[in-house]
Structure formats: structure tokens, C-alpha cells
Amino acid sequence: MIQQNLELAIKASLEAGKVIMEVYNTPFDVEIKDDKSPLTEADKKANDVINSYLKQTNIPIISEENRQIDYVDRKDWETCWVVDPVDGTKEFIKRNGEFTVNIALVTNGKPQLGVIYVPATKTLYVGNVTEEQGLKAELSTHETSIKEVQKLFNPLQPKIENDSSVQVVGSRSHMSPETLDFIETIKSSGKDVEVVSKGSSLKFCLVAEGNADVYPRFAPTMEWDTAAGHAICNAVGIEVISKATNKPLLYNKENLLNPWFVVSK
């Protein structure tokens, strides 16, 4: 069943990527939501596409762009989808390509599978936690069949720890004081630090594919920002640890806001 759900999520992400790029390549309006975050036609269209696929499973869906369901109704969900149709809307508006489609399946609060699709580059990341399998494929078209996608997959390989240097995922332009303190702590152990930067859930992918060692996130995120990346990281042996509990992040919580966290081996 996990494999069927994974294939469905891949199909949903690719079709969502196609409609996102149709909007991306034309002039578009930007709305500002109640929480002051931006919204475009791409978010709405991608959400409709993803919902149309995932509803076939009869598994409930938590999506940034769906009406949020009260916890009194969600608390008994053993399994649910957690979706961000366009993660990195600010990057989308800047047209820098660093935005993603995030789809995760969560059981008992823990990510089981995750799909991250990068429509601008047609790059697909997939994680199956049960199988301990993290994969990446570079596609030539959003219409690539599942059979063809599977032929293009290569395993994700996290970095082997280096005694002399550490690559930290962060913002090159504006890092929080807490992140700067985190970096200083690493430097004080005698290691060189290089800061690498990406938008959206691509930060998780940097660690999962070996282009960074650690991703400290000391700023607000929502469950749909992290669930897919969390699954992909877990699938290749990387932890996503809450700073509040010192345990892995959990999903379908009463409050969908995440605590601060660190992604590392």
C-alpha cells in the first residue's frame, strides 16, 4: 500500500509542477493571506490537482491551502497526508526557481513517505522511511511516467562526516542570532564552517543528498513545510530533532506550528 501511495504522490507532484510552471511563465497576481504570507494562482491550482489525486486514497489531508480542520476532528486520524502545494511562494514570486511541491504521508505523527518536486528544474526527491530508501531523479518533462521515473532514480547519499569542516544550511543574507550562535559553537570546536543556502524544503534535500551536514532551523515553520523533507531525511538515516523536546518532530499536532529543530545525522 505504501508503494501505491508513493506512486500516487509522485504523479500528483508532477502534475502540480506542470500547472505551477504554467502560472510561473506568465504574469500573475499576488494576494496576501491573513497570516501576511503571499498566495498566487499557482498555489490554488496546484492544491486542486494534488487534492484530486490524494482524495482517491480516502486518507484525510492537511494542506496549507485547505480550510484547516479543528484538532477535535483530526486527533483520531491515525494516518494523514501533509501537503504544501507551493513551498517557497516568496521564491516563486522572485522567480528564482527555489520552490517545491511537498507531499508527505504521516502515521501516528511520524512521516512514512515524502515527495519533494522542484518544478523549475524538474528534479524529484522521494523518501520511503520503511524501506530506508531515499531517491532522486532528474526528469526531462513533467509528463514523465512512473515507470520512466523509476528508471531515472539514483540513491541519495548523505555526507560522510569531515573532521575539519562543516557545511551548515542557512541564509547568506540574514541569519538569526540563534543560528549564528549555533555556527560559533561549531567553530569553537576547531572546525571550519561553510554556509550553504537554498529556498523552501530544498534545505532538507541539501542534507539528504550530501551537499550539507546540518540544517538548524531557529525560525517558525509549519508542518507542511517540513513533513516531506523529514521523511526523505529519515529514509537515509538523518534525524529531524525538535529543540523543544530533543525528540523527532511530530505531525498532526493540535498546533500545526513546528518548534525549532535541527536536521543532522
Residues 197 and 254 in one domain: yes
Average pLDDT, the chain: 95
DSSP string, 154-213: EE--PPPP-SSEEEEE--SS---HHHHHHHHHHHHTT-EEEEE--STTHHHHHHHTTS-S
Q: Into how many domains does the chain fold?
A: 2
Domain with 179 in it: 165-264
Which tens digits make up the pLDDT trace of 210-225?
999 999 999 999 999 9
Residues 54 and 12 in one domain: yes
174: pLDDT strictly greater than 80:
no
- Domain boundary (155, 188, 214) is at 155
Query: What is the pLDDT at residue 175?
Result: 80
Residues 141 and 45 in one domain: yes
- Domain boundary (155, 178, 213) is at 155
- Say if 160 falls within a structural domain: no
Residues 174 and 141 in one domain: no
- Domain boundary (120, 155, 190) is at 155
Residues 118 and 246 in one domain: no
Residues 259 and 176 in one domain: yes
Residues 251 and 173 in one domain: yes
Residues 26 and 149 in one domain: yes
Residues 124 and 11 in one domain: yes
- Say if 85 falls within a structural domain: yes
Q: Which of 236, 256, 234, 257 is nearest to 248 (CA)?
A: 234
- Say if 170 falls within a structural domain: yes
Residues 173 and 249 in one domain: yes
Which tens digits make up the pLDDT trace of 101-147?
999 999 999 999 999 999 999 999 999 999 999 999 999 999 999 99
Residues 50 and 83 in one domain: yes
CATH number for the domain harbouring residue 107 = 3.30.540.10
Residues 6+ apart with CB under 8 A from 237: 132, 158, 265
1: pLDDT strictly greater than 90:
no
- Say if 14 falls within a structural domain: yes
For 103, 189, 226, the CA distances from 7, given in Å and listed in that order, are: 11, 44, 20
- Say if 93 falls within a structural domain: yes
Q: What is the pTM of this model?
A: 0.96
- Say if 10 falls within a structural domain: yes
Residues 150 and 193 in one domain: no
CATH number for the domain harbouring residue 251 = 3.40.190.80
